[in-house]
A and B are shown apart, each in its own frame.
Chain A
Amino acid sequence: MSDVTLVSKAGKKKASIGKARRAGLPNWLYGWVLPVIVLALWEAASALGLVSDSALPAPSKIAKAFWQLALTGALADHVTSSAIRAGGGFLLGGATGLLLGIFTGLGKWAEKTLDPTIQMLRTVPLLTLIPLFILWFGVGEFSKVLLIALGSFFPLYFHTHLGVRSADRKLYEVTRILQYSKLHLLTKLIIPAALPNILLGIRLSVGASWLLLAVAEMMGASAGVGYMIQDARVYAQTDIVFVGIILFALVGKLSDSVVRLVEKRCLRWNNSYKG
């Protein structure tokens, strides 16, 4: 037994040495290679005057604008008000999607009565609802949060529904023999079985909420990253537009990473192909 492990360990070591020699990079660096090359080329092109400064300001100039906005505290203010909107909308829409998804997943009756309507609403492009929302609720916070909630509702609803339905019949048979209560059936079979799908739904919902946040803030606001971009456009401050875009990218990536971390922790048991 110990011989075997020794041999396999040694084998692994050799293999990893071989790989390292070939690529010469630690694993986490791979993702940075392409962005760094693009940024370097971009900076060089700006320095050589190949691109106009008002259309495509140099990365260094964008970084400077970023730094200045951060120093005045304006950046933090915009990010905070955006995060509150997106978070509120996501919580509202996501929670509704999760509950309705479980509900229609559990019962044929609920599915038959609710699902066709939800499917129909899903096909309506959300952005066409903006005029209606403005007419009904004005351009205030409520219509923004509602738009974001609506956007984050659908992905979580579908994936929760799908996840509930993917619970294994054979395991259900086991829970019948072990006499699970209705509550245990939900908390100890259906929700854990649906968890991979639910977490995927959450990731998609978070993405949708950022997308709709940008739209909502551009339709009229007095704070937020989307507003900052819109405002900078009016004054032709291209560098600040870029700062806004970068902020969206950073916050989006950060929230996605958080969900993935949760996924990794909660789905350790998952025995699927990992590439």
Chain B
Amino acid sequence: MLNIERLNKTFAAPAGPIVALSNIRLQVEQGQFITFIGPSGCGKSTLLKIVAGIDTAYEGKVELNGKAITGPGVDKGFIFQEPRLFPWLNVEKNIAANLPLNNPQIRRQVDELIELVRLKGFEKAYPKELSGGMAQRVAIARALLRKPEILLLDEPFGALDAFTRAHLQEVLLDIWQNSKTTMLFVTHDLDEAVFLGEKVVIMNPRPGHIRNVIDIDLPYPRKRVGHSFQELRTRVLSEFEKVEQPPLVDQGAGI
């Protein structure tokens, strides 16, 4: 279980400190799929980096299974917007990375993951020969091989075309339902947030804070064209429209 309480984060800037995250409070149960949505500058990527342990300069409590997060690790898998593959390694070696591929157990797991992310036949291909969607699937397999407790995805499909994106969303849901890994998924795409998440966390900037959390009580597999999907989509959207109005007085509480 992930537990975040009274999380504050400020960046030093020449014009004075900037509050990136203000008084964040969030509980995520094991196996949940949470999506984060908000305009740029709302701190959603910063929040993810803190949970990943990449960014440790913060105030407040961030705990995974009761233990404070003090640094990055394989238990907290991270998928960046770019695949970030090692260009000199082929697909299977990229997935194994620092683990020995000649170990029969790892070999078997790598083969299974290649099957899972639907890359059979591309084991020996180099990153330059892959499309963006394929490369991102390799990155996901690389993270999954470490059997992470939690998978953090920072706009992983943001650079892909709409068809590839829809396909990868389904692949990801497949993986989630098979592995029951906790997923924290940051996106700026409204449909993506509603299609994937059990809960959508809506964030706002200046200072970055959680505005609302909306439960998406739709069974998987979801249909994007259904009436209830559109209704929930509208609800999330209306949260943003409220934001366009002048901020309420109590919003400044975190500063």
Contact = CB atoms under 8 A, between A and B. Distances in A.
Interface of A: 170-171, 173-181, 184, 188-189, 192-193, 195, 268-271
A184 B98 contact: yes
Contacts of B78: 177
Interface stretch (B82-90, B111-119, B198-206): B82-90
B126 A268 contact: yes
A180 B73 CA distance: 10
29 contacts: A170-B80, A171-B84, A171-B86, A173-B54, A174-B80, A174-B84, A174-B86, A176-B54, A177-B54, A177-B72, A177-B73, A177-B76, A177-B78, A178-B98, A179-B72, A179-B98, A180-B98, A181-B98, A184-B98, A188-B97, A188-B98, A192-B86, A192-B88, A195-B88, A269-B89, A269-B128, A270-B128, A271-B87, A271-B127
A177 to B, nearest CB: 5
Nearest to A176: B72
A172 to B, nearest CB: 10
A1 to B, nearest CB: 13
The 3 closest A-B pairs by CB, nearest first: A271-B128, A269-B88, A192-B88
Nearest to B76: A177
B250 to A, nearest CB: 37
Contact of B74 (A170, A178, A269, A270): A178
B52 interface: yes
Interface in B226-249: none
B87 A270 contact: yes
- In this complex, the member of B54, B84, B146 whose beta carbon has the largest number of chain A beta carbons within 10 angstroms is B84
Nearest to B152: A177
Interface in B73-132: 73-74, 76-78, 80, 82, 84, 86-89, 97-98, 126-128
Contact of B126 (A175, A180, A188, A269): A269
B126 A178 contact: no
Interface residues of B, number: 22
Contacts of A188: 86, 97-98
Contacts of B84: 170-171, 173-174
- In this complex, the member of B54, B82, B97, B126 whose beta carbon has the largest number of chain A beta carbons within 10 angstroms is B97
A180 B72 CA distance: 11
A215 to B, nearest CB: 38
A230 B76 CA distance: 69
A175 B89 CA distance: 14
B73 A179 contact: yes
A38 to B, nearest CB: 40
A155 B97 CA distance: 31
Contacts of B52: 177
Contacts of B127: 269, 271
Nearest to B71: A176
A200 B88 CA distance: 17
A195 B86 CA distance: 13
Contacts of B73: 177, 179
B73 to A, nearest CB: 6
Given A170-B82, A173-B54, A177-B54, 5 more contacts: A174-B84, A179-B72, A179-B74, A269-B87, A269-B127
Nearest to A271: B128
A180 B142 CA distance: 13
Contacts of A178: 74, 97-98, 142, 146
A178 B79 CA distance: 11
A221 B82 CA distance: 59
Contacts of A180: 97-98
A179 B146 CA distance: 10
Contacts of B54: 173, 176-177
Contacts of B74: 177-179
Nearest to A268: B126
Nearest to B145: A178
Contacts of A268: 126
A271 B129 CA distance: 9
Nearest to B83: A174
Contacts of A184: 98
A194 B54 CA distance: 25
Nearest to A270: B87
A118 B113 CA distance: 49
Nearest to B90: A269
A176 B86 CA distance: 14
Contacts of A179: 72-74, 98
A270 B127 CA distance: 10
